Structure 1
Amino acid sequence: MKEGFRQSMAWLHTWSGLLVGWVLFAVFLTGTAAYLKPEISAWMMPELRTPAPETPAEQAATAQALMDHMTRTAPRSPAWFISLPEAREPWANVFWRDPGAGGRGFRQAVLDPRSGEPVAARGTRGGEFFYRFHFQLHYMNVPVARWIVSFCAMFMLVAIVSGIVTHKRIFADFFTFRPGKGHRSWLDGHAVAAVLALPYHLMITYTGLVTLMFMTMPWGGEAAYRGDRAAFNTEVFGTARPARPAGVPAPLVPVGPLLEQASRHWNGGTAGRIQVQNPGDANSTIQLTRSDSERLSFNPQIMVFSGATGALLSTAGDDSRPAAETRGVMYGLHVGRFGGPLLRALFLLSGLAGTAMVATGCVLWAVKTRQQAAKRGRVGFGVRLVEHLNVAAIAGLPVAMATMFWANRLLPLDLPARDEWEIHGFFIAWGLCLLHPLLRRGRRAWVEQFAAGALLFGLLPLLNALTTTTHLGVTLPAGDWGRAGFDLGLLAIGLALAAIARIVARHRPGAAPRAKPGAGPGSRPGAKPDRASQPARHGEPVAAE
Structure 2
Amino acid sequence: MKDSFFRSMTWLHTWVGLLFCWLLWLVFFAGTLSFFRQEISLWSKPELHQHSMVVQSSQQDLLDYGFNRLNSEASDAARWWISLPSERNPLLRVSHLPYAQPGEKASWVNHNLAADSKTPITTRETKGGSFFYRLHFDLHYMDRTTARWIVCLASLFMLVALISGIVIHKRIFKDMFQFRTGKGSRSWLDGHNLSSVLALPFHLMITYTGLITLIFTLFPYPAQTVYEEGVKEFRKDFYPERQRPQQSHETLSTPAFAQSLDHFFTNWPEQPISRIIIDHPQDAAAVMKIYGANRSEIKDEQAVWLYSGKTGELLNTVHLEDSAAAQLYGGMIAMHTGRLASTGLRWLYFLCGLAGCAMIATGCVMWAKRIRERQKPTQSASFGLKLVESLNLAAIMGLPLATAAFFYANRLLPVGHSGRADQEVLAFFLTWAGAAVFSAKWRSQQDWRTLALVNALAWLLLPLCNALTTQGNLISYANNGQWALFMFDILALLAAAVFYWQSNKLQPAQQTRPQRARAERAA
Q: Which residue number corresponds to residue 394 of structure 1?
A: 396
From 149, 161, 165, the equivalent of 2:151 is 149
Q: Which residue number corresponds to residue 8 of structure 2?
A: 8
Matches within 5 A, 1:213-292: 213-227=215-229, 231-233=233-235, 235-239=237-241, 241-250=243-252, 253=255, 258-259=260-261, 261-262=263-264, 265-266=267-268, 268-292=270-294
Q: Which residue number corresponds to residue 112 of structure 1?
A: 113
Q: Which residue number corresponds to residue 201 of structure 1?
A: 203
Distance of 2:472 and 2:444 partners within structure 1 = 40
The 1:283–1:458 alpha-carbon spacing in structure 2 relative to 1, beyond 3 Å, is same
Query: What amino acid is aligned across from residue 245 of structure 1 in structure 2?
Result: Q
The 1:255–1:419 alpha-carbon spacing in structure 2 relative to 1, beyond 3 Å, is farther
**Offset of 1:267 from its aligned partner?**
6.3
Q: Which residue number corresponds to residue 454 of structure 1?
A: 456
Query: What amino acid is aligned across from residue 34 of structure 1 in structure 2?
Result: S
Matches within 5 A, 1:47-126: 47-49=47-49, 50-52=51-53, 54=55, 58-71=58-71, 74-93=74-93, 97=97, 99=100, 105-107=106-108, 109=110, 111-114=112-115, 118-126=120-128
Partner deviation per Cα, 1:371-392 (whole Å, 9 max, x = no partner): 2344782310010001001001
**Offset of 1:86 from its aligned partner?**
0.6
The DSSP-based 3-state class of the residue aligned with 2:177 is coil
Contact 2:28 2:136 in 1 (8 A): yes
Query: What amino acid is aligned across from residue 272 of structure 1 in structure 2?
Result: S
Contact 2:93 2:113 in 1 (8 A): no
Q: Which residue number corresponds to residue 358 of structure 2?
A: 356
Q: Which residue number corresponds to residue 520 of structure 2?
A: none
Query: What amino acid is aligned across from residue 380 of structure 2 in structure 1?
Result: R
- Which has the higher mean CA deviation after the structures are superposed, 238-247 or 216-225? 238-247
**Offset of 1:201 from its aligned partner?**
0.4
Contact 2:303 2:317 in 1 (8 A): yes
Query: What amino acid is aligned across from residue 459 of structure 1 in structure 2?
Result: L
Q: Which residue number corresponds to residue 471 of structure 2?
A: 469
**Offset of 1:362 from its aligned partner?**
0.7
Distance of 2:334 and 2:143 partners within structure 1 = 26
From 144, 147, 172, the equivalent of 2:174 is 172
Matches within 5 A, 1:353-502: 353-374=355-376, 377-502=379-504
Aligned length: 510
The 1:224–1:443 alpha-carbon spacing in structure 2 relative to 1, beyond 3 Å, is same
**Offset of 1:132 from its aligned partner?**
0.8
Distance of 1:323 and 1:79 partners within structure 2 = 32
The DSSP-based 3-state class of the residue aligned with 1:276 is strand
Contact 1:263 1:271 in 2 (8 A): no
**Offset of 1:341 from its aligned partner?**
1.3
The 1:75–1:9 alpha-carbon spacing in structure 2 relative to 1, beyond 3 Å, is farther
Give structure 1 stretches of 5+ with no counterpart: 512-545
From 299, 302, 306, the equivalent of 2:301 is 299
- Which has the higher mean CA deviation after the structures are superposed, 80-89 or 410-419? 80-89
**Offset of 1:233 from its aligned partner?**
3.4
Q: Are 1:33 and 2:14 an aligned pair?
A: no
Q: Are 1:185 and 2:187 an aligned pair?
A: yes
Q: Which residue number corresponds to residue 519 of structure 2?
A: none
Partner deviation per Cα, 1:134-161 (whole Å, 9 max, x = no partner): 1101111111111111111111111111
Query: What amino acid is aligned across from residue 365 of structure 2 in structure 1?
Result: V
Contact 1:24 1:152 in 2 (8 A): yes
Query: What amino acid is aligned across from residue 502 of structure 1 in structure 2?
Result: N
**Offset of 1:423 from its aligned partner?**
0.7
Distance of 1:464 and 1:200 partners within structure 2 = 33
**Offset of 1:236 from its aligned partner?**
3.3
Query: What amino acid is aligned across from residue 35 of structure 2 in structure 1?
Result: Y
Q: Which residue number corresponds to residue 515 of structure 1?
A: none
The DSSP-based 3-state class of the residue aligned with 1:143 is helix
**Offset of 1:343 from its aligned partner?**
0.6
Query: What amino acid is aligned across from residue 42 of structure 1 in structure 2?
Result: L
The 1:339–1:7 alpha-carbon spacing in structure 2 relative to 1, beyond 3 Å, is same
The DSSP-based 3-state class of the residue aligned with 1:293 is coil
Query: What amino acid is aligned across from residue 18 of structure 2 in structure 1?
Result: L
The 1:67–1:462 alpha-carbon spacing in structure 2 relative to 1, beyond 3 Å, is same
Q: Structure 1 length as normaliser, TM-score? A: 0.87
Distance of 1:359 and 1:45 partners within structure 2 = 32
Matches within 5 A, 1:505-524: 505=507
Distance of 2:410 and 2:247 partners within structure 1 = 42
Q: Which residue number corresponds to residue 323 of structure 2?
A: 321
Distance of 2:467 and 2:52 partners within structure 1 = 22
Distance of 1:508 and 1:8 partners within structure 2 = 41
The 1:330–1:97 alpha-carbon spacing in structure 2 relative to 1, beyond 3 Å, is same
**Offset of 1:73 from its aligned partner?**
5.4
Q: Structure 2 length as normaliser, TM-score? A: 0.90
